[in-house]
Structures are given as structure tokens and as C-alpha cells.
């Protein structure tokens, strides 16, 4: 997904976005700069305020630099911010009311919480369904099956590994476990 995002961002950087070629988010702050995708999502004063208010990042140097430095938890927030900045820009272009930065940040936070709640509910459903359908099957005649597992205790310097080797009748041929 990151590779796609980078290619898309690079492809779109040189495209002009609005017919007037000037930043349409003038209802908030007039910057008077030529609008490009980079300006709309990164260097516009309104976009900068959103980035600083949500990710607490200054995107002046590079939006991609911020993107690559994100931890897993901030990744969804990054995309929701992009979507929100673009949506507010479209409102301005099409003559709709553009809200305050504060209202936009509240909306981003609310959307992120709803999105994460939805994702968690879907993960639970997938895990429950997967657990019901799991059953071990022996290998075909002439083959063996190797099952392996590992365990890590947070804060411990050790890990445990184990294996079981099975024949086609389901008999154990070999098994072992080791702390590393």
C-alpha cells in the first residue's frame, strides 16, 4: 500500500488541480499560492495546521518523509487526514461551507475512532469464524507433515520453539521443543 501511495503521490505532484490555479481554501486563510497536489495536501497553511493538530508533525519539508516515519498506529490517521484535507478543499472549490480547522480535527478524530472500532469488530468476527473451521488433517500417503510453533513472553530474553513430525496415519514420527 505504501508503494502505491508513493507512486500515486509522485504521479500527481505535477498536475494542476483547480481551474483558477490558485489555492481555493481562501475562506480560511488566503495564501495566494499556485495550487498543486503538493500544495493542497502539504504546504497550504490550512493543510499544515491539520497535520500539526493531528499527527503533531511539520510537513514543510516532505509529506512523504512524515509518511515513511509513521508507526503502525498513525498510518490510518495519516490517510484520514489526507482524505479530510482533500474533502475540505473540494468544498471550497465547489462553493460549500468550509469549517474551521478545529472542527476538521474533531471530525478526523471522530472518524478515526469509528474506523478503529469497526476494524476491531471485524477482527473478532474473523478470528471466531477461523477458529471454528480449524482442524488438523494428516498428510497424503507417502508424505509427512511438519507442524511448528513458537512462543515469546514479552520482557523475557527467551523464546520457545517446538515441532511435531507426522506420518499419513497421524502417528508422531518425531517431536521436540527448545528454549532459545
For 40-93, write each residue's pLDDT tens digit: 888 888 888 898 899 887 776 677 777 778 887 788 898 899 899 988 888 887
pLDDT at res. 128: 60
Half-sphere exposure of 46 (CA within 13 A, CB side): 30
Measure the CA–CA gap between 173 and 164, rounded to whole angstroms: 8
Average pLDDT over residues 16-26: 58
pLDDT at res. 64: 75
Query: For 56, left (φ over 0), alpha (ψ -120 to 50), or beta?
Result: left
* Per-residue DSSP letter, 12: H
End-to-end CA gap in the chain: 35
Measure the CA–CA gap between 178 and 148, rounded to whole angstroms: 12
Average pLDDT over residues 99-105: 91
Comparing C-alpha atoms, which of 122, 109, 172 is closest to residue 146?
Answer: 172
pLDDT at res. 152: 80
SS3 content of the chain, % helix, strand, coil (to 5): 50, 15, 35
Amino acid at each position: 500500500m505504501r508503494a502505491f501511495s508513493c507512486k500515486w503521490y509522485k504521479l500527481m505532484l505535477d498536475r494542476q488541480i483547480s481551474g483558477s490555479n490558485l489555492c481555493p481554501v481562501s475562506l480560511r486563510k488566503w495564501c495566494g499560492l499556485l495550487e498543486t497536489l503538493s500544495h493542497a495536501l502539504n504546504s497550504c497553511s490550512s493543510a499544515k495546521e491539520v497535520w500539526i493538530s493531528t499527527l503533531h508533525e511539520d510537513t514543510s519539508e516532505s509529506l512523504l518523509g512524515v509518511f515513511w516515519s509513521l508507526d503502525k498506529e498513525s498510518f490510518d490517521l495519516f490517510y484520514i487526514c489526507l482524505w479530510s484535507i482533500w474533502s475540505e478543499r473540494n468544498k471550497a472549490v465547489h462553493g460549500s461551507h468550509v469549517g474551521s480547522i478545529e472542527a476538521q480535527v474533531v471530525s478526523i478524530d471522530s472518524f478515526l475512532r469509528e474506523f478503529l472500532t469497526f476494524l476491531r469488530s471485524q477482527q473478532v468476527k474473523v478470528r471466531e469464524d477461523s477458529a471454528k473451521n480449524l482442524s488438523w488433517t494428516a498428510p497424503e500417503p507417502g508424505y509427512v507433515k511438519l507442524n511448528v510453533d513458537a512462543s515469546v513472553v514479552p520482557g523475557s530474553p527467551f523464546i520457545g520453539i517446538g515441532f511435531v513430525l507426522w506420518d499419513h496415519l497421524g502417528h508422531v514420527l518425531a517431536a521436540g521443543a527448545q528454549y532459545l
